[in-house]
Amino acid sequence: MEFSQYSPKAEVFDSEEDAGGVQAFGIYWSRDLVAWKRSCKLLGQQQIGSEAVNMAGQVGIYLLYDGREVIYVGRSVDRPLGIRLFEHTQDRLRARWDRFSWFGLYPVREDGDLVQSVPTIDSDTLIRTLEAVAIESLEPRQNRKRGDDLAGMEYIQAADPELAAREKIALLNELSNSIRS
């Protein structure tokens, strides 16, 4: 199977400041803001108004939520995040989830491309990163601190522009049908 639309640019990546394991993440993204298909776009921005980055090619872990309850935890290793999430729109979980969080291992270059390189980390950093991921994604009531050892860049979700185009086509079809009636 061809995944070229997701293939990050291969590059040597060795940066001490980015050695926290999780390089990029998104919390509580809405399923409704994605135009679901095998080659979907998972668009994220560092801040509102900044250039959107397609995270569909990320590898890492993800959580599916029904409201705020975690109903599934998965990993994307052999298939990128976009494909794994798309598969969940077709499988036994298709009607069960409305939000998702993801934690990606690929860094994002300044031009918005994903770098296909996973930094090497020591066990102490790995443990702190795992704790931070669990705190950020589960938001346990008794934890007083946030996942402060999550060194990756958080991305806020941006809607896929294809959704607006689909809505316009549906509206035009509806108007056309009402004119014919």
Q: Report residue 133: phi and psi, to 5°.
A: -65, -45
Look at residue 149 in the predicted model and tell me its pLDDT.
67
Look at residue 14 in the predicted model and tell me its pLDDT.
45
**Distance from the Cα of residue 160 to its chain's centroid:** 13
More confident residue, 91 or 149: 91
pTM of the model: 0.81
Asked whether residue 169 carries a pLDDT value surpassing 70, the answer given is: yes
Average pLDDT, the chain: 85
For 8-146, list the strands marked E by DSSP.
Answer: 24-30, 43-45, 53-54, 60-66, 69-76, 99-104
Give tens-digit pLDDT for 122-145. Answer: 888 888 888 888 888 888 888 877
